[in-house]
Amino acid sequence: MDEIKLSDDVIEQIKGFHYWNLTKEQESLIDKLITDKELKERYKGFGLCEKCKQPKIYPDYCRPCKSQYFKQNFKNWTSGNHNVDEFIQKAQLKAKNIDQVIEWVEYDKFENVEYLAKGRFGTTFKAVWKDGPWKLNDNYQLERKGETKVALKCLHNSQDITAEFLKEVESNILVYNTGWVVRCFGITKDPKTNDFMMVMVLKDGSLRQYLNNNFISINWEEKLLNLQGIAFGLKDIHNKGLIHHDFHCGNILSSSVPYFHVSITGLGLCQPANVKSSQKSNKKIYGVLPYVAPEVLRGKEYTQASDIYGFGIIAYEICTGFPPYYDIAHDEFLAMKICKGLRPTSDYKIPQLIFNIINQCWDADPLKRPDANELHDLIAELDNDISDNKVSSVIYGQVKEADEIKESSLTVQLPLPSTSTLSYMLHPQAVYTSRLLDFKNLPEPKNADNNDLLK
């Protein structure tokens, strides 16, 4: 379907208006002339494109102009697969800003390809993209960014492109709104294996790796900022009507430059929240046991509230530094204890207001957990008080108390207080990669008054 556009007559009547400072008469005329709601909102928000004179969607991005450019370029590339070509073309025509533009990238555009990690569904490599992705120059024209380090995420056995692969790319495009979700630049193909690969922003590593190496030097302002960011990313996912479905620390990536910053990835299992199990081709439960909500362990539907439970575990991990249940086996007995109310415990002092939010997230009753919007607002309020140095706030006092306890414990327990590395011994059966979770006859989920009674 062709995009709705303003007629030449309408453009002629409003071309001299300043959209950011309309008179009452001009506002009235705009309401009369532009009857399409989306076009009117675009005009009042960003005005007309200097080139095509149509309302822009973004301050620096005109979809009609850029769509025309991409459409004329369709004949100059092909992935060799009709479904992939069609998918990329549709995405380019629908992109509302430069960050939603994906493209086909020939594999020979990459150099220094190196193995990074292997997961249940695929393998990730890092590489240098010689030309780099598109960017907008000072005149809002497309040009190449230049040499860029990227991640190449290969889906196993994707020689014949799968719906799951394209669904993950689509999910990344759909929810990418801020830097809190890892951006996808496009698709390529390994000529040796013929597997398709997602071209993505390269991060320094996993959140777990960052916590292992830097936890002791991370302050509460940084912790709250990143908790707020993860909540923001989860809000973007949920507000698009999706569920992450595999929300654990391994699917949170980190960067340390210019500061500690995390982003959500692993959207391969993302699905609409209104899809029930009867509509799914695979009803089996996959995940990382410590992060899976108790109702899901018992076979109930995975919901957005289940993602919130996973957030609670991740938040506790960021606050304390340690992986959840790192010292016990991740087996049916742990699943049973989680359903009975067991939650991660640590001697590390967490400010009470932060712990209250975490406790809400991992409530046994999904209906009592906050939604992603509420969660973001709760954390943002605390983060603002800390970043604004609001000494009169309750959270400021609680953070100061937690820091004093931390300093005291470091002096007593660590021979080298300056080190930032955590030290702990993982149980040989503690598993932090997604796997099939098939437990039978688990008890009805409940909250426990005292976790110690369950150990």
Inter-CA distances, 243 with 208, 272, 303, 364, Å: 22, 6, 7, 19
- Residue pair 333/297 in contact by the 8 Å Cβ criterion: no
At residue 47's C-alpha, the angle toward residues 43 and 50, to 5°, is 130
CA-based nearest residue to 398, from 224, 211, 181, 197 = 224
**What is residue 162's predicted lDDT score, i.e. its pLDDT?**
67
Q: Which domains does the chain carry? A: 69-201 (3.30.200.20), 206-454 (1.10.510.10)
**What tokens does 207 get?**
């959140």
Position 2: which residue type? D
The DSSP code sequence of 159-193 is SS--HHHHHHHHHHHHH-SSTTB--EEEEEE-TTT
pLDDT along the chain (455 residues), means of 10: 80 91 93 91 90 86 89 94 93 90 96 86 90 90 94 76 78 82 93 90 91 90 94 93 91 80 80 55 79 95 95 96 96 96 92 96 97 96 93 94 78 48 89 91 87 44
Element (H, E) at 242: strand 242-243
- Residue pair 11/48 in contact by the 8 Å Cβ criterion: yes
**What is residue 11's predicted lDDT score, i.e. its pLDDT?**
93
**What tokens does 370 get?**
């906050």
CA-based nearest residue to 251, from 167, 153, 162, 348 = 153
- Residue pair 227/317 in contact by the 8 Å Cβ criterion: no
Q: Are strands 205-206 and 252-255 parallel, antiparallel or unpaired?
A: antiparallel
